[in-house]
Structure 1
Amino acid sequence: AHMTELTTRESAVFLGLSVRTFWRVAAPHLRPRRYSLRSIRWQLGELEAYRAHVTDPSTVLAQEVTRRTRTGGMADLLRRHGCIG
């Protein structure tokens, strides 16, 4: 079965982040599928798992992300899920 794969821009949009913030807070925790230097794909399943993980306030990752993103998409995402005030 073919896993759904997203571009970096699509992945950032999926997580509600800017591309820059995606590289800073999300990419280090994901394994990219690299077809070429310019063509990197991210698996939807991993992105969903990452989102679930960072929106669970008990995880170390969520605490790290909260610390590193004062504003912007990920902070909004965490706020929507009631993880930060």
Structure 2
Amino acid sequence: MQLELFPFEPMSVAEKQQIFEIIKRHYWTIRNTRSWRFGDAPRRKAYRRIEVEKKRLMMSGVSKREILDYLACCRLKCKRGKDCPYCRSNF
């Protein structure tokens, strides 16, 4: 059992989806910036912004497993296809 030091601020489904879309856009930036052309600054900036959104999700009570599953979906460009709960709207 995890000790809760801070009370969770409930988040609506629409707010959670909005944060997921922000994270997805940042991963697009990471995948499409090449260090040989742009340097590493845009990539590092995107990782820092993702970290802020992850903390925001965790502080609102979203489970760590759900966050990690979503991040794996973003990193891999979702190779699970129709089985992915996060990319279902794309099919």
Q: TM-score, normalised by structure 2?
A: 0.26
Considering fraction of residues, name the structure with more helix: 2
Q: TM-score, normalised by structure 1?
A: 0.27
Bigger Cα Rg = 2
Considering fraction of residues, name the structure with more strand: 1
